[in-house]
Amino acid sequence: MPKGVLNTQRMLTGKQLQSALVWPFLTEEPLVLVDWLPWSHAFGANHNFNIVLRNGGSLYIDGGKPMPGLIEKSVENLREVSPTLYFNAPRGFDMLLPYLERDEALCSSFFKNLDLIFYASAALPQNLWDRLEALSIKTRGERVRMVSSWGSSETTSTATSVYFTIEKAGVIGLPAPGVEIMLTPSANKMELRVRGPVVTPGYWKRPDLTAAAFDAEGFYRIGDAGKFDDPSDPAKGIVFDGRVAEDFKLLSGTWVHCGQVRLGAFTACTPVIQDAVVTGRDREYIGLLVFPNLAACRAIAGNEDLSLAEVAVHPAVCEVLRQGLERYNAGHGANSMRIARATVLIDPPSIDLGEITDKGYINQRAVTECRADRVEALYAQQPDPSVLVLCETVRSRGEACAVAA
């Protein structure tokens, strides 16, 4: 349920001072943003709106959104206005890329004045990074720098920032000026905790939540995990390592890191998967609930009029998904990583039910609760035809194991 995060004047101004210190180019020329991100969120308001407010420039409010029927509006806006900075969530880039790849005029308009591409709010799959970089080189003859940061409403928006060249997705930078980051053991990961002037004093009229959110040293417990990109050189930055709260144990007691499995499956099955939810808590094996990329699946099926329900069972789509997951499994043989079964969902994630935020971040727990019937279908002894069986589970000396089907 929503909770009121106190954002003080000190936090808002401190955040913008951080940006000015690590990104001095913000004041070199008037900024131009074309931005759909909502002002009810820290990303759209505290980060993007306030960057223009503090440093000067123009913010064009994009009435589109990374959703079917609305992404077309964003495309037309980017055709008309060339941004100097472009901020988006990974889902936004996923839906925008097919338009950029097939429309040279749009691609030229998008990259013409672009100084920086920025993603946040969720992990960016490496294949999306590679496609953006390839388009940049093709259009401009050079790479437009891609960066990220990490934080939440409780940290105004930014606790870490990338202000140096990175070569791959996943690096969330180093602590922003004035911020302390502590990595503390949590199960077999390192939980990230934050302290500094951009961290909230607490939750509105919820002293119980406030007390639970901070440790004895005053560090905010954000619930995310991280690790050094290069343990021998911390200056190369921290890598996002998933949500601590989303990870779970299989029936065997083996930990499953949902973020790694989800990203791996997404990359292997591009462009079929729009998003996915990893299942398997207290089960024998990992399952996958797949939200399909409708436009890509229609292209694979050769029919632009198919509904989600029709796409979900189309043989060509199912075969591409199967091949992608088999490729993924070929490189991930451990029970903690291997996907045994998958099913394609016939309706999109619901904002009203809390399955997805309006920035496109999937709530794993909400999806599994709202679609409990599909989760049960994944683990049925005799799965129905909508379930793609990649491995058959068997019992061996009291342990769960899997063999190729």
Please write the tens of the pLDDT for every residue from 54-112: 999 999 999 999 887 899 999 999 999 999 999 999 889 989 999 999 999 999 999 99
Q: Which CATH architecture has domain 9-244?
A: 3-Layer(aba) Sandwich (3.40)
Q: Which positions ≥6 away from 100 have C-beta within 8 Å?
A: 106, 107, 110, 135
DSSP state of 141: S
Tokens of 269: 């099955």
Q: Vertex 119, ends 117 and 123: CA angle to 5°? A: 140
Q: Which CATH architecture has domain 247-404?
A: 2-Layer Sandwich (3.30)
Strand partners, 339: 286
pTM, 2 dp: 0.78
Query: In angstroms, how far is the first alpha carbon of the chain from the final one?
Result: 41
How does pLDDT run across 227-251, given as a tens digit for each residue?
999 999 999 999 998 888 788 889 8
Domain assignments of the chain as residue spans, ordered by start = 9-244, 247-404
Q: What is the amino acid identity at position 347?
A: D
- Say how far apart CA 32 and CA 57 lie, in whole Å: 6
Q: What is the amino acid identity at position 74?
A: S
Which residue, 32, 29, 91, is CA-closest to 62? Answer: 32
How does pLDDT run across 266-309, given as a tens digit for each residue?
989 989 998 999 999 989 999 999 999 988 899 999 999 999 89
Tokens of 17: 């001072």
- Judge if 9-244 and 247-404 fold alike in CATH terms: no
pLDDT at position 393:
52
Task: Provide Rg for the chain, Cα atoms.
Answer: 22
Under 8 Å between Cβ of 15 and 157:
yes
How does pLDDT run across 306-343, given as a tens digit for each residue?
998 999 999 999 999 999 999 999 999 888 899 999 99
- Say how far apart CA 114 and CA 143 lie, in whole Å: 10
